[in-house]
């Protein structure tokens, strides 16, 4: 799977999850099903990312970049993705355990 496809799986998964979360909580309860579809998309994207990526090379600093560019382009983007994945996992477990679906 190409890196663009993996990024799209993760990005669209986060978008669909967020729409399902906010619309499902605020207006229509059944739209919360989008949360599961967004989570599945993101989890697949993260799985393929980890499967196809050499993490040592991914987190290596490019000699042309300064420390701030490295921090924002490598570290922060990965941390935000990890934050969203943890949020999705917790919300999916909450939806399933409380029977809100």
The answer on pLDDT for 101 being more than 70 is no
> DSSP 3-state assignment of 27?
coil
pLDDT of residue 100 exceeding 80, the answer is no
Across the range 90-98, mean pLDDT stands at 87
Length of the chain: 101
- Per-residue confidence at 71, pLDDT binned at 50, 70, 90? confident
pLDDT at 51 over 80: yes
Please work out, in degrees rounded to the nearest 5, the angle formed at the alpha carbon of residue 62 by the alpha carbons of 1 and 11.
Answer: 35
Higher pLDDT, 101 or 87: 87
């Amino acid at each position: 799977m190409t890196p663009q496809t993996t990024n799209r799986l993760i990005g669209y998964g986060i978008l669909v999850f967020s729409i399902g979360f906010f619309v499902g909580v605020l207006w229509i309860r059944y739209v919360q099903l989008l949360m599961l579809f967004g989570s599945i998309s993101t989890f697949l994207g993260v799985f393929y990312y980890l499967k196809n990526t050499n993490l040592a090379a991914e987190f290596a600093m490019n000699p042309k970049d300064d420390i701030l560019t490295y921090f924002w382009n490598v570290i922060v983007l990965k941390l935000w993705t990890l934050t969203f994945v943890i949020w999705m996992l917790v919300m999916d477990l909450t939806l399933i355990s409380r029977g809100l679906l």
